[in-house]
Amino acid sequence: MLSDLTAGALADAAARREFVSFAEVEAAALAQSPALNALEFLAPADHIKVIAEVKRASPSRGDLAAIADPAALARTYAANGASTISVLTEGRKFKGTLEDLRAVRAEVSVPVLRKDFIAEKYQILEARAAGADLVLLIVAALEQELLAELNEFALSLGLTVLVETHSREELHRALDIDAKLIGVNARNLSTFELDRELFASLVGEIPTDVIKVAESAVRDATDVQHYRDAGADVVLVGEALVTSDPAATLQSFLAV
Ligand SMILES: O=C(O)c1ccccc1NCC(=O)[C@H](O)[C@H](O)COP(=O)(O)O
């Protein structure tokens, strides 16, 4: 599934490149005002922080929410304490678009993450050109050399990189590229199995100067508390927010 998602995302980027060349998207990226420093927004604090996700659908759960107005949802997230907004821009399974990202960027003043299956520089330039402040790099989807190259490229554009892991070996690959924002995803992206204990089992190996993000599988405030007790600085939440009253749900998460 993960290699299919990545191949699909690359094919879609290649189609866009027929209309917007590498040089053109690079010029658009460089013309943007500087990216927000997401590491400051997500820095450890005396309370948990939330990356709130705009997520219409997923391969594991199908349709979740129509989200006709992603900017309005992002505004609600930001007004209720989200530290960063994640926008799923993958179109085939998540029903997202880069236009969603542009709309969210124009609406909020907190950092915006392009959440997609990134495997080439063009996609990183697209993210910056659309106003993203962060990009996601999924260790499982990338050979180490490519992971390091894309990480360096994103950093050179002023982006923050959320490096996503799902095992001890992947965590050490993230540390090898000196990642400063590391996510441990409870969801196995190939089998969709959820392991809410994975974060707790790996967090002890993450240095103190790295911001620790527990990703996926948050259903309610109890799960947020569980991740917080294990040492999470940040939780990344999609489904639980888009399938409920997002303001009330977010407030309950931030109250733990
Ligand atoms: O959500 C999925 O089914 C999925 C399947 C395959 C690759 C990625 C997938 N999701 C991306 C994410 O990592 C989540 O959207 C994110 O962590 C939020 O998860 P949740 O709160 O469980 O919706």
Lowest-confidence region among 17-21, 40-44, 186-190? 186-190
Percentage of the chain beyond pLDDT 70 is: 100
Q: Which residues line ligand 1 (CB under 6 A)?
A: 1, 5, 53, 55, 58-61, 185, 187, 189, 192, 215-218, 236-240
Q: Which atom of ligand 1 is nearest to the CA of 239?
A: 23
Distance (Å, whole) CA 199 – CA 188: 12
The CB-based long-range contact list for 173-178 (8 Å cut-off, 24+ gap) reads 173/139, 173/144, 173/147, 174/139, 175/205, 175/206, 175/207, 175/210, 176/144, 176/148, 177/147, 177/148, 177/151
Region 170-183 average pLDDT: 98
Instruction: Identify the active-site residue in 80, 83, 185, 188.
Output: 185
Region 89-110 average pLDDT: 98
Q: Which atom of ligand 1 is nearest to the CA of 53?
A: 18
Residue nearest atom 3 of ligand 1, based on CA coordinates: 60
Give the model's confidence band at 1: pLDDT under 50 very low, under 70 low, under 90 confident, else very high: confident
Residue 174 alpha carbon to ligand 1 centre in Å: 19
Here the tokens at position 255 are 């109250």
Residue 197 maps to which CATH number? 3.20.20.70
Task: Identify the pLDDT of residue 173.
Answer: 98
ipTM over 0.85: yes
Here the tokens at position 64 are 């979740």
Region 194-212 average pLDDT: 98
Distance (Å, whole) CA 135 – CA 141: 14
Percentage of the chain beyond pLDDT 90 is: 98
Here the tokens at position 237 are 């939440």
Range of the domain at 149: 2-254
Residue 211 alpha carbon to ligand 1 centre in Å: 20
**Cα 85 vs. chain centroid, distance in angstroms?**
8
**Within 10 A of 187 (CB to CB), how many other CB atoms are there?**
18
Mean pLDDT in the chain? 98
Angle made by CA atoms 222, 1, 105, in degrees to the nearest 5? 60
Task: Identify the pLDDT of residue 190.
Answer: 86
Angle made by CA atoms 82, 62, 239, in degrees to the nearest 5? 20
Which tens digits make up the pLDDT trace of 23-67? Answer: 999 999 999 999 999 999 999 999 999 999 999 999 999 999 999
Q: How many domains does the chain have?
A: 1
Contact 239, 55 (CB under 8 A): yes
Residue nearest atom 15 of ligand 1, based on CA coordinates: 238
Region 121-132 average pLDDT: 98
Comparing CA positions, the residue from 11, 4, 54, 58 lying closest to residue 190 is 4
Task: Identify the pLDDT of residue 18.
Answer: 98
